[in-house]
Every structure is written in structure tokens, then in C-alpha cells.
Amino acid sequence: MLTLNNVEVMYNRVILVLKGMSMVIPKGKIVALLGSNGAGKTTTLKAISGLLKSEDGEVTDGYIELYGERIEGKDAEEIVKKGIFQCMEGRRVFEHLTVEENLIVGAHTRKDRQNIKADLQKVYHYFPKLEMLKHRQAGYLSGGEQQMLAIGRGLMARPKILLLDEPSLGIAPLLVKEIFSIIKRINEEEGTTILVVEQNANIALSIAHYGYIMENGRIVMDGPVEKLLENEDVKEFYLGMGDKGRKNYREVKSYKRRKRWL
């Protein structure tokens, strides 16, 4: 459905962040994109959603295709209209708007205004907490509630593909579990394709169908989740597991094992 082929992204025409990034996101699946800090995960999402422009970034090579149509370099609003919606890192709710107004803004590009009421109910069905808070100013919500709002806002756009940038960031572990189980439900019940970027590999792989691992601006490994979970490198570097179960950090010797993909 969505294909990135050999995409190169430069910021300010100098800093090369993505160096030939390729991935395929199949329809109706959850795809996890994992990687350490600065690997280029967020940049990848912004390249897809067209938000690069507002940060002086640019796709300088390769292409991004949605159903065979080139979308790289298009304006963000056009891409939202085509059905790709990004929930940005750090939630970015509109603090001075109420919860319900935030959700309505999510539906900004929708043409079928009469269905919005029904969709509000749908969001409240996934996130019952939001319904209780709907007249509250969004800035005063807790981190978890704001993340729910950010995802709910995404649902309001009825996207074909939902891009989630670190939905676990700064949220209590228990809530993270809840949020991810809702993401899974959204995928199953609405058929929304989801690309989730995470540092928390454990939780992301627990709901994803397919995983990509990114380092230094390119994909270094990919495969169905079951396969990734068996891979020794992934276990060691992303899941914190050694050969003998959970790793004891006292015994870590960093030279003991090299990543085989380097």
C-alpha cells in the first residue's frame, strides 16, 4: 500500500538523515519501525506525512508511493486528505482547546461533515475516559490521557494509514499496555493500517505483524515479528535478553557480541 524506495532526506540541504531508506507497509497490518535515538525514525514518518517542509527538510532522492501514486514533497494537508495521518511525537494536543474541540480539529479535512458526530462516539467507545473529560481543556490532561486524545484525533480523520510516533513516550507502563491494546483493536476493528515508531521494542513487537529495524538512516533488518523475536541480535540489542533469559546488566560486556549487520 505504502512504499518507500531508497529515500534520502536532507535537512537544510546539508545534513543527510535518511540514507536510502526502503520499506513496504502492507494494507491492514501493523508495522513496527524500531531503532535507537537519532536513527531517523521520526524523519521517516515526517517524510511520509509531508511535515518535513516545516523543518527545512526535503526528500532529495528516492520516492514514496501510496497506491502507486508518488507523494513525496507534497504539502501536509494534501497528504492528510489522501488518508495518511501522523500522530506526532510528544502528543502535541492543542492545549487551550477542549478535548472535544481537539477531536473536531482532527476531522478538519473530512468532507462528510454529517458523520462526525458518529465518529466522536466511536472515539469515545475506544477511549471511554475521553468522554468523561470532553469539556476539559486538553492541556490539563495527564500524559496518558493526552496520548489517547492524540490517537483519537487521528481516528477522527478516518485515515487509511495511521502513523504513530512513540505513543509510549513518557507514559506510565500500565497505560502504555492499555494504549497499545487499543491500537491493536483499532487495527482489527477499523482495518486501519498502522505504522508505529517505537523505542520500546517489546511493546511494539507485541502487537505488530511486521517489523523494521533502523540504524543510521537505513533499514538494517526486517521480517515478520515472529522471526525478529527469534533473532539473536534483536533479542540482545532491542529486547534486553541474553542467551540465558533476561540479561543481568552487571555482567554486560559490550565487546562480547557484535551486531552482525554492521
Partner 1 sequence: MEFFLQMLVTGIVVGSVYALVALGFVLIYKSSDAINFAQGEFLLVGTYVCLTLVASYNIPFIAALLITLAFSAILGFAVEKVVLRPFIGKPVISMIMATIGLSSILAGIVHIIWGHETRVYPPIFSETPIRLGKVIITPVYAWSFVIVIAWLILLSAFFKYSRLGIAMRATADDQQAALSMGISVKMVFAVAWAIAAIVSSVGGVLLGNINGVNSSLSMIGLKVLPVAILGGLDSIQGAIIGGLIIGIIESMTGGYLDPLVGGGLKEVVPFIILVLILMVKPYGLFGKKEIERV
Of 52, 146, 154, which is closest to residue 91 (Cα–Cα)?
146
- Provide the angle, in degrees to the nearest 10, between the axes of the packed helices 116-126 and 99-106: 120
Closest approach, Cβ 155 to partner 1, in A, equals 12
Nearer to partner 1, 146 or 193 (CB): 146
Residue selected from 77, 112, 188, 232 as contacting partner 1 according to rule CB under 8 A: 77
Stretch that binds partner 1, among 34-42, 83-91, 178-186, 227-235 (CB under 8 A): 83-91
Nearer to partner 1, 75 or 230 (CB): 75
Cα–Cα distance for residue pair 122/20, rounded to 1 Å: 39
76 binds partner 1 (CB under 8 A): yes
Partners of 175 in beta bridges: none
Concatenate the DSSP letters of all residues of 46-90 into one string.
HHHHTGGGGGTEEEEEEEEEETTEE-TT--HHHHHHTTEEEE-TT
Query: Could you tell me which residues come within 8 angstroms of residue 38 by beta carbon, excluding any fewer than 6 positions away?
Result: none
* DSSP 8-state assignment for residue 247: P
Concatenate the DSSP letters of all residues of 194-209 into one string.
EEEEES-HHHHHHH-S
Radius of gyration of the chain from its Cα atoms, rounded to whole angstroms: 19
Nearer to partner 1, 97 or 241 (CB): 97
Closest approach, Cβ 258 to partner 1, in A, equals 39
Stretch that binds partner 1, among 27-35, 76-84, 211-219, 251-259 (CB under 8 A): 76-84
Stretch that binds partner 1, among 64-72, 88-96, 216-224, 226-234 (CB under 8 A): 88-96
Which grid coordinates are listed for 34? 524500531
**Binding to partner 1 in span 101-140, by CB under 8 A:** 101-102, 104-106, 108-109, 113, 137, 139-140
Stretch that binds partner 1, among 24-32, 94-102, 126-134, 214-222 (CB under 8 A): 94-102
**Binding to partner 1 in span 151-180, by CB under 8 A:** 153, 157
Task: End-to-end CA distance of the chain: give it in Å, rounded.
Answer: 30
CA pseudo-torsion sign 110, 115, 118, 122: negative
Q: Per-residue contact track with partner 1, 37 to 66, x per CB under 8 A? A: ------------x-x--x------------
Nearer to partner 1, 197 or 234 (CB): 197
Nearer to partner 1, 106 or 217 (CB): 106
Cα–Cα distance for residue pair 181/203, rounded to 1 Å: 10
Sites of contact with partner 1 (CB under 8 A): 49, 51, 54, 75-77, 79-81, 85-88, 92-97, 101-102, 104-106, 108-109, 113, 137, 139-140, 142-143, 153, 157
